[in-house]
Amino acid sequence: MIKTVACAKLATFNPFEPTTATVANYKQYTISFPEPTFASSVFTMSGPVHIASDGEWDSLLSGTSVVVADFYADWCGPCKMIAPHFERLAKEHSSPKKVAFAKVNVDNQANIARTNGVTAMPTFKIFHNGTAIETIRGANPSALTEAVNKAVSLSGSSGKKAEAVFQTPGRTLGGGAPVQGQGRPWNVSGLLNIVLMLVGLYLTSLFSARNKEAIAFQESQDVSKAQSLEDIEKVVREAKQRFRDTLPKGYLNEEEYALYERLYGPPLRETAPEDVGIPTHADMGGQILIPRPADEGTLLRQSEEGGFEEVTYRIPPRQGDEPEPSPESEQPLESESAVETVEEPSDYVDAVARNPREREALQRLMEDFKTAQKKQMEDEIAAAREEAEVEQEAYEMDEEELFPESKEIPADAEPEMGLGESRRFHPYTLDGRFHGSPVEISLPQSTLVTPIRDLLDRTHLGHVKTAAEAAFGGQGLPTSPFTPEGRKNGQMGGVGLPPDQRHMTEIEADAFLAGYLPPSYASVASVLREVRKRLGSGWIKQRLQKDGSAGLSVLDAGAGGAGLVAWDQVLQAEWDLLREQGVVKGSQPPGRKTVITGSDRLRHRLKSFLPNTTFLPRLPDYEHSGEMQGERLDAGDKPQARKSYDLIIASHLFLKEKQDHYRQAVLNNLWTLLNKDGGVLIVIEKAHPRGFEAVAHVRDTLLKQFILPQNGEQSAPTEELNPAYHKEREPGHIIAPCTNHGTCPMYKEVGKSKGRKDYCYFNQRFTRPGFYTKMLGNSTNNQGDVEFSYVAIQRGRAKADQLPGWKSTEQAFAGYENSPSPPDMQTLPRMVLPPLKRKGHVTLDVCTSEGKIERWTVPKSYSKLAYHDARKSHWGDLWALGAKTRVSRSVRVGSGVDDGGKRAEGGKKPRKVEITMDGGRLSANEKSARKERRTKGKRDRQTDLIKEILEAEDIEELEMEREMDAEVQEELEMENEKGRGRR
């Protein structure tokens, strides 16, 4: 491409010539230009060039002699401050192929910034022939101007070296420069005049320029310093807001970290992904995808709660299919390997990051979390596979020997056992299980979890957690129905916020929903499932099948509505079975539901997800109310019908009552509310020694005062019965967990016991909702275990078994594996501790119907099926397959009730009390009282020493006051004597 332009050829200035005028001679030149490229088109324009790629940067360095680059960021304050000054220099000194000014955004061109070692913004770098010769960090206008002027001088002469320009203290004016044109003779006078003129001009301009430059430099330094300190403080405060009391590694530089320590102190630790909410919002970013094996399929199976669960199964290879290649010979494709891990930027990080530094730190935390999550998943899979292999290898049963079956089964023949667990376990083992299948209970989403979550969305969950910790004993909620590990022997009181509390604030009502209902539902659902197994479904179906029946009535006294939700699950299952058989019609079973709630705020919340429910502020008291008949105006000839309930769930009602007679009054009230014809009373308390003692006291009182003894069993001893609570005893029996109706082997002495180690309690695993997990302060684990003590009693119906306890224990020890008659499940021994699995035998700690705690041993030589079922048994199961050996197990029930020692029991030394009268006060001291044996600690000794010192100082002050008074008195007497002498 040929272009014709007009170029100006200037005459060369020679300072040694006397003339000062120069003439510009213009000539016409024809210059040949190539096609316009980046280097030839962009640099013809004035102003800085914005670099958009690595190619543009390389082209700029290779096609330009001097390049002044500004490495900046959009969020950088000093960068914005010095940008106008950089643009002025660019417009003034830009020259095509000689001098170019470039702006490089470090966020968009991170590779260029990393290659040039840029660590702070702004950074100015000067390149000569592609090599960096000068670096200026920070917003320093004077230093930048000086460096640009030096760099511009390099572009005009190719002979100059960058080292000579940027390292020498200054330039030499005048000499050394070649003179163009014809030489002339020396003129001494003219040369002297020129030198004097130049020196004068130099001195004049020097002082004025230095003064202005100093002022401008000082102002720019002050602005830069103020701006830099402001930016550092901003970074530090944003780091505190984002990461709280933690700090990512290497997030702040030395100056920023020093300011951080001065403002907030050193951070507690390095930031973890949980500190910035990454585990909660990890689903917003990329996910880790693990390919499913080709021989594995999935099915959706409906669970008992109405939801669906995914079930995996193996697909058997078909005939004719080619075998899959081995992992050694198979080479995965790039696309297949990309499916295994998806690396995508997190939407959560992009949403919360306020600057590139935060984004980089959060991205690193997200990657650490994903790596840890993937490793945890791999470890769990590997551990599960290893456990399955060890279990299968060490304890694999000979199924052909246990369950012989012929190769050809007639079409009309029915197998004795089906597939799955019914084929691998004895039927009596499955009937005696305490936990269902699956062992973990899932809280109903539509009727419990979702309504509570919707109610909690109105309040910040952090405030609800604070209120829950204040109401339920602190971190971990130890006084809620759930007791954290390690807090069982510390706080052994009742629940901190019972549902019958008359006054609750708005935040306390939300805390009750979030911290009380989930574990309460799990414990009540577990007990209801066990009661349904032991009584059978007949006691529910009989009421539902009656024509015109109102159904079953239930009272939730203490569970806060969670008991009603659990009861609806059981009742709906029985109703669906009857509806499939065509016995009943309709989608909802009839019945009456009542719950005790003392607070209006709590009642309004429970109404949103407990329809058709009656709310009572307290328990009805029929024990002290008279009959409504006779002479009263609002009564008829017949007494009015009183309320009675087929099921009463008394959850956490007795432990909060400190006195035994208060518990007796609550029990009497509940018993009068219970239906006389088969009503069921369930008592649940917390799983610690005091909670067990409250449940055991209720059981002991029922057996001694309310229920008739069973056939073949002696009546429980009744000592010191309160005549005010004496009732006519009636039929009834204990449904669960006890298999005997005698004295509890762990509660032989009534009352509290010091140092109790063994007590009867059970556990239930459940899936924690997200809001409940946050209440506990653990956002990663969604599995929880609630432990509880309970007893279930049926009123009006005795047990069908006629055998005494010792006889039932003998039969259970012999086992029912090959027995033609089925056992009575309520007479079988129950496991009160987890089974001890050893190589070749299993040890079971059971509570027998004889009323003893025994240790039964089931070796492999006794029975392979019994040994297999014993290894798979769980805590709380009933055992029906017998054992080979049995021994009595001692129970650690503590030191007994504190009765005051031997002297209170009538020992040899009587108690002597000395009564004295001191200053009108009557005091009594026991002469034979025991001395304090406990040695004083260091703090007590220091306290006693301080007391002695203070007493000594008081005594010394009194003596000094007495001496001073005596001296004053002597002086007065002497003055009086002198006055008398003068007279």
CB 773 within 8 A of CB 779: yes
Q: Which of 7, 79, 738, 760 is catalytic?
A: 79
Q: Which of 76, 744, 760, 847 is catalytic?
A: 76
Per-residue buried b or exposed e for 512-543, using 16+ beta carbons within 10 Å of the residue's own CB: bbbbbbbbbbbbbbbbbbbbbbbbeeebbbeb
With the C-alpha atoms ordered 311, 314, 318, 324, is the resulting torsion angle positive or negative?
positive
- Using alpha carbons only, how large is the chain's radius of gyration in Å? 46
Q: How far is CA 766 from CA 381, 691, 785, 845, in A?
A: 21, 21, 6, 25
The DSSP-derived string for 5-55 is EEEEEEPPP-TTSS-----EEEEEEEEE-----HHHHSTTSSS-EE--SHH
Helix axes 141-156, 77-93, angle to 10 degrees: 30
795's tokens: 């009123």
Our answer to whether residue 738 is catalytic in this structure is no
Our answer to whether residue 847 is catalytic in this structure is no
Residue 267, CB-side half-sphere exposure with 13 Å CA sphere = 24
β-pair partners for 924: 915
The DSSP-derived string for 968-983 is HHHHHHHHHHHHHHH-
- Compute the residue count for the chain: 983
| Cα dihedral 845, 850, 851, 856 in deg (nearest 10) | -10
- In the block, tokens 């029975």 appear at 863
Per-residue buried b or exposed e for 243-256, using 16+ beta carbons within 10 Å of the residue's own CB: beebbbeebbeeeb
How far apart are the C-alpha atoms of 303 and 282, rounded to whole Å? Answer: 28
CA angle 346, 349, 350 (to 5 degrees): 90
Q: How far is CA 45 from CA 38, 53, 104, 555, in A?
A: 12, 19, 18, 87
128's tokens: 């000569």
How far apart are the C-alpha atoms of 534 and 131, rounded to whole Å? Answer: 89
Amino acid sitting at position 789? S
Q: Give which of 853, 928, 855 is closest to 891, Cα–Cα.
A: 853
71's tokens: 């490495």
DSSP 8-state class, residue 446: I
How far apart are the C-alpha atoms of 91 and 712, rounded to whole Å? Answer: 112
Catalytic residue IDs: 76, 79
